Amino acid sequence: MNPDASQYAVSIQYDRRLYREDIAGSVAHARMLAKQEIITEEEAAAICDGLLAIRAEIEAGEFPWRPELEDIHMNIETRLRERIGPTAGKLHTARSRNDQVATDLRLYAMRSRQRVDEAIAGLQKALLARAGEHSGVIMPGYTHLQRAQPVLFAHHLMAYFEMLHRDRARFAHCRDAADLLPLGSGALAGAPYPLDRRFVASELGFSRLSANSMDAVSDRDFLAEYHSAAAICMMHLSRLAEELVLWSSQEFGFISLAPRHTTGSSIMPQKRNPDFAELGRGKTGRVYGHLMAILTTLKGLPLTYNRDLQEDKEGFFDTEETLLSTLEIFSDMIGAMTVNASRMEDAAQRGNMLATDLADYLVGRGMPFREAHGVVRRASEHARSLGKEVHQLTLEEYRRFSDLFDSDALEISLKGSVEGRDVPGGAAPRRVQEAIAAAKARLEESFDT
């Protein structure tokens, strides 16, 4: 191959990230080969010692990476030969890079899930802390981004806790999908040696063995699932980002982001831009892109291993990094933002948000809901023509629209409105308190099956 062509096949610049998993897989494999008397105990010991020394070398930044050896597997094996001589060549008995790389990726995905789970829980804790701190603050709840009904700010934050809870469950499922040992599948058909695959699985922490060697070397479903879970989680973060952008605008003024989460404009001195929220929203696009890329890479591949599969790694690592850093930044952003409670409550006073409560009042006095809806709509239009909110009309004015109105209609308030929504999952302060208390326990829940 001319030098340019060989460059094309090189993956070491990114698959070196798998060194820990690759060495763990090789150590387990070598031990098993000795246990099954395929190699001697002395050979296995030399191989394992050599591999652990190589790991230390990599971690000390002293490993001589060689792109001409293409990938992590060949780099480590060649180095092993330099250290222990021809015995190194026995490590690859009953193994192929095809089952080796599939094993590495599955181990990496399981460990990555642990990191992601902790980062998601970190953001949940930040949301929970702010919800607890501002548990009495009322804000406008929106539909169609129009003021709809009053809710507690805490209830709004806790909606994101729920999304993230589902994300954790999805990543637990990803871990489960990755939890299967491909090693022992050889290049595609298995290996003509008396392997103890169970032993290798338990050494590496896998609870299942692959049931079909051809599937095992070419299956990357667990990566597609990981990408999908990451894309959904980023979608949630992007929604949160959008709210932070809106809330921190002058138009809303509900929050102020900490100075470290905003930047100034190079031309407009008065501005503080919510760049970090925007970047989180923007990075969602590349995570979606990686999901599309892995699905497209897998599409149409004949069994079994094809080199196309080498393209499964960069997007995977980039998605992990993007998701983890976004979760960390967002936890910090939520923890450090200033909540402008009075701005939220002022906004809640406007927008006729007690209209539904007035309709419910009439329903309580026997009027069918549809009819009550019409009455309050007309009363609201009248209030608007007077420059008032519907809950600011006088009893006389109300009575022009229905004689079911009585003086207690004047007592309808924002606080009464939220308190009235006392159903499980509803916006009532009592229910929100319960949700916050339950969330603390749910944070500790294990999703593992």
Sites of contact with ligand ARG (CB under 6 A): 11, 71, 97-98, 101, 305, 307, 309-310
Residue whose CB is less far from ligand ARG, 310 or 326 = 310
- Name the catalytic one among 6, 202, 265, 342: 265
Number of neighbouring beta carbons within 10 Å of residue 103: 32
Residue whose CB is less far from ligand ARG, 299 or 307 = 307
SS3 (DSSP) at 181: strand
What minimum distance in Å lies between the beta carbon of 8 and ligand ARG?
13
Residue whose CB is less far from ligand ARG, 76 or 358 = 76
What minimum distance in Å lies between the beta carbon of 171 and ligand ARG?
23
Residue whose CB is less far from ligand ARG, 102 or 409 = 102
Q: For residues 128 and 160, what is the distance between their CA atoms, to the nearest angstrom?
A: 10
Burial of 109 (0-12, 13-18, 19+ CB in 10 A): buried
What minimum distance in Å lies between the beta carbon of 163 and ligand ARG?
34
Q: What are phi and psi of 181, to 5 degrees?
A: -85, 120
What minimum distance in Å lies between the beta carbon of 316 and ligand ARG?
11
Number of neighbouring beta carbons within 10 Å of residue 235: 15
Q: For residues 26 and 74, what is the distance between their CA atoms, to the nearest angstrom?
A: 12
Q: Smallest Cα–Cα separation from 327: which of 241, 445, 237, 406?
A: 237
Q: Tell me the residue ranges of DSSP E strands in 245-304.
A: 255-256, 263-264, 272-273
Q: Are the C-beta atoms of 360 and 373 separated by less than 8 Å? A: no
Q: For residues 18 and 322, what is the distance between their CA atoms, to the nearest angstrom?
A: 18
- Name the catalytic one among 135, 144, 165, 407: 144
Residue whose CB is less far from ligand ARG, 97 or 431 = 97
Residue whose CB is less far from ligand ARG, 108 or 330 = 108
Burial 381-406 (b: 16+ CB within 10 A, else e): ebbeeeeebbbebeeebbeebbebbe
Give the torsion sign (CA, 77, 83, 87, 91). Answer: negative
Q: Residue 20 is which amino acid? A: R
Q: Smallest Cα–Cα separation from 159: which of 136, 172, 141?
A: 141
What minimum distance in Å lies between the beta carbon of 80 and ligand ARG?
17
Q: For residues 427 and 416, what is the distance between their CA atoms, to the nearest angstrom?
A: 11
Give the torsion sign (CA, 140, 141, 144, 148). Answer: negative
Residue whose CB is less far from ligand ARG, 101 or 121 = 101
To the query of whether residue 261 is one of the catalytic residues in this protein, the response is no
What minimum distance in Å lies between the beta carbon of 96 and ligand ARG?
7
DSSP state of 146: E
To the query of whether residue 380 is one of the catalytic residues in this protein, the response is no
What minimum distance in Å lies between the beta carbon of 53 and ligand ARG?
23
Residue whose CB is less far from ligand ARG, 187 or 404 = 187
Q: For residues 9 and 160, what is the distance between their CA atoms, to the nearest angstrom?
A: 43
What minimum distance in Å lies between the beta carbon of 51 and ligand ARG?
18
Q: For residues 127 and 214, what is the distance between their CA atoms, to the nearest angstrom?
A: 45
Active site positions, annotated: 144, 265
